[in-house]
A and B are shown apart, each in its own frame.
Chain A
Amino acid sequence: MELDAKVPAGPIETLWDKHKFDLKLVNPANKRKYNIIVVGSGLAGGSASATLGELGYNVQCFCFQDSPRRAHSIAAQGGINAAKNYPGDGDSIYRLFYDTVKGGDFRSREANVYRLAQISVEIIDQCVAQGVPFAREYGGLLDNRSFGGAQVSRTFYARGQTGQQLLLGAYQALERQIGAGQVKMYPRHEMLDLVVIDGRARGIVTRDLITGKIESYVADAVVLGTGGYGNAYYLSTNAKGSNVTASWRAYKKGALFANPCFTQIHPTCIPVTGEYQSKLTLMSESLRNDGRIWVPLKKGDKRPPNQIPAEDRDYYLERRYPSFGNLVPRDVASRNAKAVCDEGRGVGESGLGVYLDLSEAIQRLGKHVIMERYGNLFDMYERITGENPYEVPMRIYPAIHYTMGGLWVDYNLMSTIPGLYVIGEANFSDHGANRLGASALMQGLADGYFVLPYTIGDYLATSKQPKVDTSHAAFREVETQVACQTKRLLEIKGTRSVDSFHRDLGKLLWEYCGMARTAEGLRYALDKIVALRAQFWRDVKVLGTGEELNQSLEKAGRVGDFFELAELMCLDALDRNESCGGHFREEYQTPDGEALRNDAEYSYVAAWQYRGEGQPPELHKEPLHFDYVHPSQRSYK
C-alpha cells in the first residue's frame, strides 16, 4: 500500500490557503442532503459536530457518556497555545511551528504542524466569541502565560480549568445545533464497529448502553473523535471510560494505525497508593515553574522531608540539566524520576515518588502569592492525599497521560478508508513522538472547527456515492458480529473480573512498554500479553445480560480491544530501534543517558495494517521530510 499524505506542493506558508481554494465545495442547498456521523463529543468531535451542523449538514453525534459535556477534554488544566504574540515577546506562527516540530522530536509531518500553528490564532478568536471566560488583564485584554518551558508566553488559560471552558464552548455550540435540529445527539451510545461498503465508510453499529440494543446508523462519511488509548495501561490520567474501541474496530476494518508506541508520560502526577487505585490524577506542570524536584541523596533515607538537610538532598534535574533545570520537557523529567526511584531513592510508602517542593517559593514570594497561583492545585492535592502541601513537599510520580499515536490520516484528516475521518487525539498527526504542553487542546479544536469542515466537503462533493440505508446486507453482517462478541463475553462465565485482567495488562505495559523499553523486555511482554489475552477469553467473568445497563460488559469489550492494541504497541516499540520523544529504548541512548534518534533509518511514520486474526500486521512507512526545521539533537543541558 502506498501511503499518500496528499500534502500539496509549494512553500509551507501558502499550503493551507491554496489547498482550501482547491477543495471542491458542496452547494449550500445540497448540504442538507448529506449525513455525517461524528463519534465522540470532546473538543474535536464536539466542535466538528457543531460546525458541520452550522454549515447545514445533517449530523448524528454519538458519545458513551450521559451528556456530550462529559468528554475527557474537560479535564485539561493548563491552557491552549496560540501564536497571537499579544505580549510582543517574539512569538510567531513560524516559532510555534518550529517549537512543535522540535518538541515532537522530528517525528511529525511538517505541513500539518504548520497548519496547526496558523489555525491556532483563529481558535482563540472563536472561543472568545463563544464566551469562553479566558483570564484577563485589568485593562480587559487577554492574559497569557508561559507554559511547559516555552520561551514565549503564548498560552491562554481559564484558571486551572481551560479544557473545561473550551469544551463547554464547543458543547454549547453543539447544543445550539441540537436545538436547531441540525445535529441529532445519541448519548450513552457506544460505537462497536464501522460499516464499510464498496471500500468506503458508510456507517456504524452501536450499542445503546441503557437498553443494550444493537443499532445501525448510515451516513455519507464517518468521523472519529474518540480520543486516545492511554487506558491500555489501566492506570492513567484518562477518564475511566476512555477507550480505544472505535479506533480499534476501524483498524480491523482497514484503517492503518500509526506510531502506537508513541505514548506520553506526564511527570507530575499524584503517586499510586495501593492495589485498589482506579486512576491517577495529574497536577498541572505549571507547578514546576516554582517547584524544585528532589530525592534524598542516600538510598533508604526514611527521614521526613523537612528533616533532610540540603546537603543530603539531590536536586537531580538541576544537577543534570543546569540550563533548563526543573523545566525540562515531560519525557526527560519522567525518565529521570524513574531512574532515581529505580536506584532506591524514591520517597513515600511505595518508594515510587519524588518530592516537588515549593517551600522556597513560599518563603521567597509569600504564601498568598503561591495560593493565588496554585491554590486550586494545592487543594486538589490535599483532598486526595490528606497532606498539606504548604507544609510538606508534594510527592509526585510520572503517569500515562496522552497518546501521540493513533489512526493514520492524510493532510485532509482522512484515514486509509475513504470517507473515514479521524480528528483530535484519536489521529496520529501533529505531535510526533512527544506532545508539548497546551498543544492538545489546540489540535483538537483546530481539527474540529477549522480543518475537517473544509476537507470533508471535498470528499462529499467528489465521491458520488450510491444511496444505501441500514437494510443493506453489510449492516446486518456487522450487527451479527457485534452481537456475537457480546454473547461470547457473557457466555465465558469464568472466574476473574474484567478489572483484574485489565490491571494485569496495565502492569505489563507499564513495566515493559512504559518509560523505558528494551528489545528483550518487549519480547517478554509480547509473550505475556498473548497468554493473558487467551486467559481473558477463557476465564473472564461478566455477569448479567446484554439487554440492560451492564457496566461490566461495557468494560469487557473495551479491555478485549486493549489486549490487541497492547500487542501492536509492543511490536511497534520493538520495531523502532531508536529513542525519540516518549519512546525511549535503553539500547539507544547517548553516553550521558539522553534519547538517541536514528534519523537515517527511522525518520518515518510507522503505519500498521491489520492482516487478520493470528496474522502479524504489516508495516507501511510514510517517510518524513524536514525542509524547514532541520533535525538536531534536543539538548536541555
Chain B
Amino acid sequence: MRITLQIWRQPNAKAKGRMVRYEVPDVNPEMSFLEMLDVLNESLIAKGQDPVAFDHDCREGICGMCGFMIDGVAHGPRRGTTVCQLHMRHFKDGDELYLEPWRARAFPIVKDLVVNRSAFDRIVAAGGFITAPTGSAPDGNAILVPKEAADVSMDAAACIGCGACVAMCPNAAAALFTGAKITHLGVLPQGQPERYRRAVAMVAQAGAEMFGYCTNVGECEAVCPKDIKLEVIARMNRDFLKAVVTGRGTEPQ
C-alpha cells in the first residue's frame, strides 16, 4: 500500500518547524508504524536527506519512549496502543497522515518528533515514591495487602510515562500521569505514611512545570495506551484536598 505522510520537521529546539510531505510507496500491512518510518528514513538516507528523528526503544509498548500525534490523536487511531504497536493493516492504501510531536509547554521540542519529557521525572522526584531505604524492609508477607488494593494499585502503576495524556489534553495537564502515581502508591498500606505529603508535593511540582490544570475533559483516558482510568484523577484530587484542608501534607515551617 501507498501512504502519504505530512511530518513536522524542526532541526532543533530553537529553529522554526514546518510540515513536510513524504511518500512511502511500498508499505507492507504487517509493518508497525515505526517500521514504516524506518523504511522512510532508509529512503531519505539513500537520497542524502536528513532522516526523521523520533523517539523509540523497546518497540513492545512498555518503555514509554515512543509517541507522536497521528492526525491529531496521540498514538493514533487504535485504543490502548502505542505507535510502536500500531500496525499498518489498520490504515488504507492512499491514506494521508499528519504526524506531529507532543505539544505542551512542559514538553519542549528537541527535534522533529522528539520532545523533552524530563518534567515527568521531576514530578516523581518531588514525591512519587515510598521512602524505604535498601535493607530496612520487613518480611514481604508482614504487610498484608488486600487483593483489591493490589489490583487498583497495579492498574494505576501500569502507566508508562509516555506523555500521551498531556499531549491530548486541551489544558496540557499532567493530571492522569500524576494521579496514576498517587493512586499506585496511595492505595497500598506501605504508601500511607507519606500519602498526603506525596499528593501535595507532586501536584505542586506539576504546576511548577507549567502543566495545565484538569477540567475533566477525559481526552487523556481516551488515548492512554495503558487504559489508565480518570478515577486516578479523582483520587489525586481527594488526597490533595484533604491534605490542604487539614494541613497534613505540608512541611512544618
Contact = CB atoms under 8 A, between A and B. Distances in A.
Interface of A: 47, 50-51, 54, 65-70, 72, 74-75, 84, 86, 122, 124-131, 133-142, 158-159, 161, 164-165, 168, 171-173, 175-176, 178-179, 185, 187, 210, 239-241, 273-274, 276-279, 281-282, 380, 383-384, 386, 449-450, 453, 497, 499-500, 541, 543-544, 548-549, 551-552
Given A66-B65, A125-B139, A136-B150, A274 B130 contact: no
23 contacts: A54-B133, A54-B134, A69-B64, A72-B57, A127-B140, A129-B137, A131-B185, A133-B150, A133-B188, A139-B144, A141-B144, A165-B157, A178-B125, A179-B125, A239-B57, A240-B57, A273-B28, A276-B39, A281-B60, A386-B87, A543-B45, A548-B12, A549-B114
A130 B59 contact: no
Contacts of B64: 69-70
B252 interface: no
Given A239-B59, A380-B85, 15 more contacts: A54-B134, A66-B55, A75-B58, A75-B62, A125-B139, A135-B150, A141-B141, A175-B128, A178-B125, A380-B60, A384-B85, A450-B134, A499-B38, A548-B12, A549-B110
Contacts of B30: 273-274, 386
Given A86-B141, A161-B62, A276-B31, A67 B130 contact: no
Contacts of B56: 240
Interface residues of B, number: 75
B161 A69 contact: yes
B179 to A, nearest CB: 16
A549 B12 CA distance: 8
A134 B121 CA distance: 23
B132 A126 contact: yes
B150 A161 contact: no
- In the A-B complex, the 4 residue pairs with the smallest Cβ-Cβ separation, listed nearest first, are A140-B144, A129-B137, A179-B125, A172-B129
B190 interface: yes
B184 interface: yes
Interface string B39-80: 100100110111101011111111111000000000000000
A175 B188 contact: no
A131 B184 contact: yes
B188 A131 contact: yes
B45 A552 contact: yes
Nearest to B156: A133
Given A125-B137, A548-B11, A131 B59 contact: no
A138 B147 contact: yes
Among A86, A136, A138, A541, max chain B CB count under 10 A is at A136
Contacts of B110: 210, 549
Contacts of A138: 147
B178 interface: no
Nearest to A238: B58
B130 A129 contact: yes
Contacts of B246: none
A450 B134 CA distance: 8
B191 interface: yes
B157 A133 contact: yes
Nearest to B80: A379
Given A165-B157, A175-B121, A541 B129 contact: no
Contacts of B12: 548-549
B105 interface: no
A172 B28 CA distance: 40
A67 B118 contact: yes
Given A70-B64, A128-B143, A548-B111, A176 B131 contact: yes
Contacts of B97: none
A86 B126 CA distance: 36
Interface in B143-169: 143-147, 150, 153-154, 157-158, 160-161
A164 B129 contact: no
B89 interface: yes
A401 to B, nearest CB: 12
Contacts of A175: 121, 124-125, 128-129
B126 to A, nearest CB: 6
A66 B150 contact: no
B158 to A, nearest CB: 7
Contacts of B185: 131
Interface string B93-109: 00000000000000000
Nearest to A498: B45
A173 B87 contact: no
B117 interface: yes
B135 A126 contact: yes
B154 A74 contact: no
A210 B133 CA distance: 33
Contacts of B209: none
A240 B59 contact: yes
B200 to A, nearest CB: 14
Among B129, B139, B184, max chain A CB count under 10 A is at B129
Contacts of A187: 118, 121
Given A128-B137, A133-B150, A137-B147, A164 B89 contact: no
B120 A67 contact: yes
B136 interface: yes
B89 A66 contact: no
A229 B147 CA distance: 38
B42 A67 contact: no
Contacts of A164: 62, 157-158, 160
A86 B190 CA distance: 20
B57 to A, nearest CB: 4
Interface string B170-195: 00000000000000110010110000
A278 B46 contact: no
Nearest to A497: B45
A383 B34 CA distance: 14
Contacts of B49: 543
Given A129-B136, A131-B185, A548-B12, A497 B147 contact: no
Contacts of A51: 133-134
A171 B63 CA distance: 13
Contacts of A54: 133-134
Contacts of B135: 122, 126, 449-450
A140 B145 contact: yes
A81 B85 CA distance: 29
A124 B58 CA distance: 26
A386 B86 CA distance: 11
Contacts of B120: 67
Nearest to B36: A276
B116 interface: yes
B57 A70 contact: yes
Contacts of B157: 133, 158, 164-165, 168
A135 B132 CA distance: 20
Contacts of B147: 136-138, 140
A241 B111 CA distance: 18
Nearest to B29: A386
B62 A173 contact: no
